[in-house]
């Protein structure tokens, strides 16, 4: 068979750079796997910087590094990769560190005023990281040198080490127009304190395994996504917060569970419209005696609730049913059962937050659940025909007055539309045309759930209506 010519790779380098500049940065970087020609476009420009340990403090060294990086950001015509090999000065306050400490920073710049910084020096402890949008310690005559950072809109920080704390803090303070910040895989980071100005809209903190405390003050923040183990989170001055994700897939981690602190967090989220939450957290609160209906606040603006856990059992099912009582404006409910996540077993709470809360039988749960006057869409991802999932579906079908659709996606990615059919109205299978139908008797044997398979194209269908945060690896 005749070999197919790779005509694109044979184009002039200038055109290849133009092509990559039209792609989102993450997709543009993937072009490096297409051929050796594409790979050469992503060969980093290396810059070595070694500082005199007797003449410069670490803060002064960080300032000089930023002055070198800033000109790189003055043009966003095409994506570029830079490799900065930094040798920081020895600190008298950190005698455990070696005399020469090298940090390698891979800086990838995108065309949409985007910068990814990945650090290769990994240490056991990063400790406290303070990010504040001020220019402390920098005089006005450095404004021109910092011009590249002043227009940056997106910043992604990965694996920030202890040695780079001053560098990252100084960098953030000069990003006056920064709209999106992401911290990823910062192992050893125990405390994060962010004080942002009027531009930061999105904050993502994921896979920081040792984090214990997060404090955020950002008056224009719209979206806050967190994934990992449960830390202490304090949100102050975040009046515009709309979308929050608390995907606590790693359980409590190093944090000691405290009902009052979690409820204080919930109170600071009461104005959000979209909430993603781990099911085990609601279960733990109910098991510790929290009765959501008796709280002093409600989620009156919550329109979309996304529930995530490794399984649905009776306590998780009933705690979700209890929580939706304080979301009177709920329009969409998405439930994801992800068996790849680790189960977080609920402990035995000997001291209750306010009064003992005994799990009721399902009839009592149904009667205590309020009417869902605005719920229109319900979706289950990772659905299996199990009693607890069916009972939750029954509850929602009974309480949702204006429900327009209930759909489920099985672990095998098959999509089904669900309706409730009384026993006397179920038609014989022979009259079901050529569509695929499955009838499942409800646990109380009072009616059938009828599942009708939805046939879509490869990228279409109900699955596309789930938010990206609902899928593993996102």
Is residue 397 a part of any domain in this protein?
A: yes
Task: Specify the pLDDT at position 137.
Answer: 40
Is residue 60 a part of any domain in this protein?
A: no
For 345, the token pair is: 């077993």
- Mean pLDDT by runs of 10 across the 474 residues of the chain is 62 77 76 77 78 62 76 72 76 49 84 87 68 57 56 91 84 90 92 93 94 95 96 95 96 87 96 97 91 93 96 92 94 94 86 53 77 94 92 92 93 90 74 69 87 65 57 50
Is residue 342 a part of any domain in this protein?
A: yes
Is the CA virtual torsion 93, 95, 101, 103 positive or negative?
A: negative
Task: Specify the pLDDT at position 429.
Answer: 59
Task: Specify the pLDDT at position 237.
Answer: 93
| Three-state SS letters, the chain | CCCCCCCCCCCCHHHHHHHHHCCCHHHHHHHHHCCHHHHHHCCCEEEEEECCCCCCCHHHHHHHHHHHHHHHHHCCCCCEEEEEEEEECCCCCCCCCCCCEEEEEEEEEECCCEEEEEECCCCCCCEEEEEECCCCCCCHHHCCCCHHHHCCCEEEEECCCHHHHHHHHHHHHCCCCCCEEEEECCCCEEEEEEECCCCCCEEEEECCCCCCEEEEECCCCCEEEEECCCCEEEEECCCCCCEEEEECCCCCCCCCCCHHHHHHHHHHCCCCCEEEEEHHHHHHHHHCCCCHHHCCCCCCCCCEEEEEECCCCHHHHHHHHHHHHHCCCCCEEEEEECCCCCCCCCCCCCCCCCCCCCCCCHHHHHHHCCCECCCCEEEEECCCCCHHHHHHHHHHHHHECCCCEEEEECCCCCEEEEEEEEHHHCCCHHHCCCCCEEEEECCCCCEEEEEEEECCCCCCCHHHHCCHHHCCCC
CB 228 within 8 A of CB 245: no
Is residue 456 a part of any domain in this protein?
A: no
Bridge partners of 334, per DSSP, are: 306, 379
Is residue 308 a part of any domain in this protein?
A: yes
Domain that holds residue 316: 242-415
Considering the entire predicted model, what is its pTM?
A: 0.85
Q: How crowded is residue 178: how many other Cβ atoms within 10 Å of its Cβ?
A: 26
Instruction: Give the position of tokens 């996504």.
Output: 225
The C-alpha atoms of residue 438 and residue 284 are separated, in whole angstroms, by: 35
Is residue 408 a part of any domain in this protein?
A: yes
Is residue 278 a part of any domain in this protein?
A: yes
Task: Specify the pLDDT at position 5.
Answer: 61
The C-alpha atoms of residue 30 and residue 21 are separated, in whole angstroms, by: 13
Residue 305 CB-density burial (10 A; 0-12 exposed, 13-18 middle, 19+ buried): buried
Is residue 260 a part of any domain in this protein?
A: yes
Structural domain total, the chain: 1
For 65, the token pair is: 């590094």
The C-alpha atoms of residue 379 and residue 441 are separated, in whole angstroms, by: 20
């Amino acid at each position: 068979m005749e070999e197919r010519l790779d005509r694109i790779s044979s184009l002039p380098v200038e055109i290849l750079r133009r092509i990559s500049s039209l792609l989102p940065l993450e997709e543009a970087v993937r072009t490096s796997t297409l051929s050796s020609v594409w790979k050469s476009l992503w060969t980093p420009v290396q810059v070595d910087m070694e500082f005199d340990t007797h003449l410069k403090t670490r803060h002064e060294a960080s300032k000089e590094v930023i002055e070198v990086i800033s000109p790189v950001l003055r043009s966003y015509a095409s994506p570029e990769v830079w490799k900065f090999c930094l040798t920081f000065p020895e600190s008298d306050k950190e005698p455990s560190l070696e005399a020469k400490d090298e940090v390698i920073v891979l800086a990838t710049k995108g065309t949409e005023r985007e910068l990814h910084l990945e650090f290769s020096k990994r240490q056991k402890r990063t400790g406290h990281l303070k990010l504040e949008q001020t220019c402390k310690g920098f005089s006005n005559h450095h404004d021109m040198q910092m011009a590249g950072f002043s227009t940056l809109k997106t910043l992604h920080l990965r694996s920030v080490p202890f040695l780079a704390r001053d560098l990252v803090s100084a960098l953030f303070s000069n990003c006056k127009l920064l709209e999106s910040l992401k911290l990823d895989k910062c192992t050893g980071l125990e405390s994060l304190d962010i004080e942002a100005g009027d531009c930061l809209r999105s904050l993502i903190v994921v896979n920081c395994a040792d984090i214990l405390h997060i404090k955020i003050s950002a008056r224009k923040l719209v979206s806050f996504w967190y994934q990992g183990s449960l830390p202490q989170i304090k949100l102050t001055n975040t009046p515009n917060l709309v979308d929050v994700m608390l995907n606590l897939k790693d359980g409590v981690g190093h944090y000691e569970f405290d009902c009052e602190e979690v409820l204080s967090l919930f109170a600071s989220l009461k104005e959000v419209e979209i909430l993603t939450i781990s099911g085990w957290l609601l279960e733990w609160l109910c098991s510790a005696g929290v009765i959501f209906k008796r709280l002093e606040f409600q989620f009156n603006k919550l329109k979309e609730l996304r529930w995530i856990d490794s399984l649905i059992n009776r306590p998780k099912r009933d705690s979700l049913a209890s929580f939706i009582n304080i979301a009177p404006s709920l329009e969409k409910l998405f439930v994801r059962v992800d068996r790849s996540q680790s189960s977080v077993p609920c402990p035995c709470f000997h001291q209750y937050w306010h009064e003992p809360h005994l799990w009721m039988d399902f009839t009592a749960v149904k009667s205590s659940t309020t009417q869902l006057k605005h719920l229109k869409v319900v979706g289950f991802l990772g659905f299996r025909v199990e009693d607890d999932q069916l009972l939750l579906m029954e509850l929602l079908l009974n309480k949702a007055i204006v429900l327009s659709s209930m759909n489920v996606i099985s672990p095998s990615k098959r999509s089904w539309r669900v309706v409730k059919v009384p026993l006397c109205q179920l038609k014989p299978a022979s009259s079901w045309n050529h569509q695929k139908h499955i009838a499942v008797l409800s646990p109380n044997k009072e009616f059938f759930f009828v599942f009708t398979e939805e046939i879509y194209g490869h990228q279409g269908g109900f699955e596309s209506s789930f938010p990206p945060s609902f899928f593993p690896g996102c």
